[in-house]
């Protein structure tokens, strides 16, 4: 889990905005990355037939991967601008 579980992350994007942005900006590279996370997630699971919980957990993994990517990009940008 990212961050402190006792202090929930404030979500700054709603599901409809996610869909709008995905329809506008998704690339084959982002789809490949999501597919890689998806496959790695299910390889780590004992079941081969995912249930709803597993599907939601995989989607959360992809969401969290995007969040980490964004945080790291912003940190890199800030460190480069301070140099």
* Residue 74 domain flag: yes
Kindly list the distances between the CA atom of residue 56 and the CA atoms of 6, 16, 62, 71, 76, in Å, as whole numbers in the listed order.
21, 17, 10, 22, 30
**Amino acid 17: pLDDT:** 92
Instruction: Write out the residue range of the structural domain in which residue 61 sits.
Output: 51-83
Domain count within the chain: 1
**pLDDT score of 74:** 94
Residue 2 pLDDT greater than 60, yes or no: no
Give the pLDDT confidence score for residue 1 in this predicted structure.
47
Residue 70 lies in a domain: yes
Assigned domain for 55 exists = yes
pTM, full prediction: 0.67
H or E stretch covering 69: helix 52-82
Per-residue pLDDT of 52-81, as tens digits, reads: 888 888 888 898 888 889 999 999 999 999
In a domain, 7, yes or no: no
Across 2-15, average pLDDT: 75
Residue 3 in domain: no
Q: Report if residue 36 sits inside a domain.
A: no
Residue 39, domain member (yes or no) = no
Residues constituting the chain: 83
pLDDT digits (tens, 9 = 90+) for 14-52: 889 989 988 998 999 989 998 998 889 888 887 666 688
Q: Is residue 62 assigned to a domain?
A: yes
């Amino acid at each position: 889990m990212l961050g402190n579980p006792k202090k929930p992350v404030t979500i700054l994007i709603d599901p409809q905005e996610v869909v709008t942005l995905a329809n506008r900006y998704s690339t084959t590279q982002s789809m490949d990355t999501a597919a890689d996370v998806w496959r790695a997630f299910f390889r780590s699971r004992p079941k081969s037939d995912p249930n709803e919980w597993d599907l939601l957990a995989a989607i959360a993994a992809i969401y969290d991967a995007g969040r980490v990517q964004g945080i790291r990009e912003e940190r890199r940008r800030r460190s480069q601008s301070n140099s």
